[in-house]
Structures are given as C-alpha cells and as structure tokens.
Amino acid sequence: MKIKLITSVLMLLTLGSFAQTPESELSDSLVGNKEVVLKKYLPMANGQLLFKAYEIPLDVFVGKINDFKAAMNAQIDSEKNQTLKNLKREDVEFYTYKKLTDYRMNYGLDSVGQEKYFDYVFNGLNTPDKDKRLDSLLIASHLKYFTKDEYSFFDSLKSKYTDPNQGALFKTSASYREFLDSYLKKLASVTKCDSLGDNEDLVILKVISAQINDPFIREYLLYTTTGKIIMNLENNKAEIERVYNDFMGVVTKSTYKADIQKLYSNYTAMSSHTLAPEFAYADADGRQVSLKSLRGKYVYIDVWATWCIPCKMEIPFLTKVEEDYKGKNIHFVSISVDKMANQAKWHDYVKDNKLQGIQLLADKDFKSDFMMKFNVNSIPRFILIDPNGKIVSGDAKRPSDPKLRQELDQLLK
C-alpha cells in the first residue's frame, strides 16, 4: 500500500518525460464527451474522480460504471461506419477501465488523512521513529479496504485488457495509450533483466521488442523510450551509446531519428565537458543576465518552477549552501521554467520568499534553447559550469546531497 500512495504522488509531481514527443501524431478524437456523461453517474472534477467517489461501495460503483457504458454505447450505435464504431466502443472500454483502476488504487482514501501523510513525508523531522510514524499515518489515510473477494473482481478484469498492438486505437485514444503505458511497466516489473539493474526504461525497451509488433506503436515507443534513456543522465555512457546505436539501426522514421540524434549530440556535449550553451534571461528586477557575464567564477544552476514541489523542497538546502559559500569563487543561479504567462507569480514568489542568488526566468520555459541543449525534461535539475564556461556536470548533485559540498570544496580549494 505504501508503494501505491507514493507512486500516486510521484505521478502528480513529475513532468512529461520526453518533451520532443510529436504529439501531433496522436489524438483523443473518438468519443469527446465521456467525461461529461460520466459526471452524471460519479462525482468528478477536471477529469478526475473526487474523493467521495472512493467511498462508494464496489457493487454500487460498478453499477454506475455499467450505466455509463450503456449510455455511451447507445450514443455510439448511431455511428454508421462499423470500423469507427468498434474503435469508439474500445475507447469507452479503456476509459472505464482506467476509472476502475483509479478506484481500486484509491478506495477508502481519506483526503485529510492523505494530506497529513504527505505533510509528514515532506516536512517531518528525520527522527529514528519516522518510518514507524509514516506507517501509522499511511494506515490512517484509508477509512476502509476491499475484501479479498472484492480484490478478486479486479483481477478478473485483467484478461479483457491485454492487447498491446491496436495501432488505430493507439493513434486516436488517450485511454488506450494510458493502458499500454501501464501494461508495459507491469511487464517490465516482472521481467528478469539482472544485467540491466533497476533501470525500468531499459527493461521496457526489451519488453517493447518482445511484445509490440504493430509498426507504428513499435517505432513510436522505441522513440519515446530511447529519448527518456538518453535524457536520464544517471544512465552510464556505455548504456546510452548502446541504446542509441540500437535505435538508429532499427527505426526507419526520419523525424524520430533526427530527434534522437539531436538528444544524443546534446548528451555527448555534456559528457565531453564542452563549452556550455549560452543564455540571457531577465532577473526579478528586469535586468538581463547572460551566462557569458558570469565567466571567471563557477556557476551552479538550479532549474526549477514555482509549481514544482520537489524543487521547492530543495530551496532551504540551496539557501544554506549559498550562505556557506558566500564570497567564494562561485555564482548561484536559479532559472525558473515557469511560463511567461505566469511571470508575475514567479516574481512574487521570489520576492515574498526572499530567494537568494541570481533569480532568472527562462524565455520559453522548457522550450528555451538552453533547456533544450541540456536535455532538461524534468525538474529539479542542477548544472555546474566552470570559470571558463565549460560544463563540469549537466546533472550536478542537489543542494540536499552532502556530496555537492564535497565537490564544491574540491573545486574551490
């Protein structure tokens, strides 16, 4: 159960993992009013089930889901094209399957209890009894649980949703794509690949090769998964090089190959400690600050955003590092990837919280040239550049990691 809750919150805190993905190739165009209709049967907001939906008994919930499906199928019956009618029915099936899995994951969840749990996760003191306290709060965050027989009901559903090669549905149904993503991850979790360690994406590549034979889905997933692996700088150089060469040898689509080649080129530039790409962004007072203007000192860059909880959790640690290294041969620069439309929110956050160092706002959030050239696809991210403007690390240690101070002490001695 702990894994279930932690997985849920991480999904809320993480960003899409491969910004170059050509979403124009995909759509969610089969049945456009699913959410509107489902809201007539279950409490929802912004496409998500509300907490009170997780209090509904299983038999009642399933009944409401079946009523929803009957209403949708009655609507779909007017479709004259049989192929399109079948796709629409499948779209509704996978949409309801997702709602059932959400219900299973969060059944009996208490909003107040969950808030207390995560408040302690993020803000609780690191005391010897922290794990015991977390376990206690975790148990208290659920008001009720399924019986063994009720869990068996969900197990019986799985056999209906096991076809990972529906190419037309993949292109037109977001619900099917969500299913397939979850399906591949589950297969990866039970696939024995000791040589790959715990790297889920490397295992998923093997699963794709073994399970996916639809040409479009196969190339698309190889493209997006390879991109994630290259952008994950914690992977070792040999793994990234092997994955890149494998991809270039089997994928035929030129746009995919061009994107991956660009990512790999960015990666090799970072790992080769070449001259860092330039930037020139406005600070909180409207003054332009360029990377070139900071030459002569090391530059430690924090890439963050006001909406990013893990980023804000690092701020107290960063502030302490900035204070302890004040007067040393190093600049501390924080670059926000908040959208320009939220500039006022960023500005107020910087001023209200008295953030230290050089505070900048990227000109085009994640699409800014500097972010793209550093393959920044998730935050927080930290970058270290030397006094000559060369890259020391494209994925530097976090302020909360004691190893950062060890590295800085070695460089600044």
pLDDT for residue 198: 61
pLDDT over 90 for what percent of the chain?
Answer: 62
Q: What are the residue boundaries of the structural domains of the chain, listed by start?
A: 2-108+144-180, 191-271, 280-412
In the 3-class helix/strand/coil scheme, how is the chain assigned residue by residue? CHHHHHHHHHHHHCCCCCCCCCHHHCCCCCCCCHHHHHCCCCCEECCEECHHHHHCCHHHHHHHHHHHHHHHHHHHCCCCCHHHHHHHHHHHHHHHHHHHHHHHHHCCECHHHHHHHHHHHHHCCCCCCHHHHHHHHHHHCECCCCCHHHHHHHHHHHHHCCCCCCHHHHHHCHHHHHHHHHHHHHHHHHCCCHHHCCCHHHHHHHHHHHHCCCHHHHHHHHHHHHHHHHHCCCCCHHHHHHHHHHHHHHCCCHHHHHHHHHHHHHHHHHHCCCECCCCEEEECCCCEEECHHHCCCEEEEEEECCCCHHHHHHHHHHHHHHHHCCCCCEEEEEEECCCHHHHHHHHHHHHHCCCCCEEEECCCHHHCHHHHHCCCCCCCEEEEECCCCEEEECCCCCCCCHHHHHHHHHHHC
* pLDDT over threshold 80, residue 6: no
pLDDT tens, position by position, 197-255: 567 888 999 999 999 999 999 999 999 999 989 988 666 888 899 999 999 999 999 99
pLDDT at 110: 79
Q: Architecture of 280-412 per CATH?
A: 3-Layer(aba) Sandwich (3.40)
Q: Name the band, by pLDDT with cuts 50, 70 and 90, for residue 290.
A: very high
pLDDT (tens digit per residue) in 50-63: 989 999 999 999 99
- Read off the pLDDT of each residue in 24-47 and give the average, rounded to a whole number: 93
**pLDDT at site 342:** 92
Q: Write down the pLDDT at residue 157.
A: 77
At 5 the pLDDT is: 41
Q: Is residue 68's pLDDT more than 50? A: yes
Instruction: Write down the pLDDT at residue 192.
Output: 63
Q: What is the pTM of this model?
A: 0.78
Asked which of 52-56, 153-157, 209-213, 320-324 is least confident by mean pLDDT, the reply is 153-157
- Residue-wise pLDDT tens digits, 341-388: 999 999 999 999 999 999 999 998 888 888 888 888 889 999 999 999
**pLDDT grade, residue 10 (50/70/90)?**
very low
Residue 123 pLDDT grade (very low, low, confident, very high; cuts 50, 70, 90): low
**What value does the mean pLDDT take over residues 138-163?**
80
In this prediction, residue 191 carries a pLDDT of 76
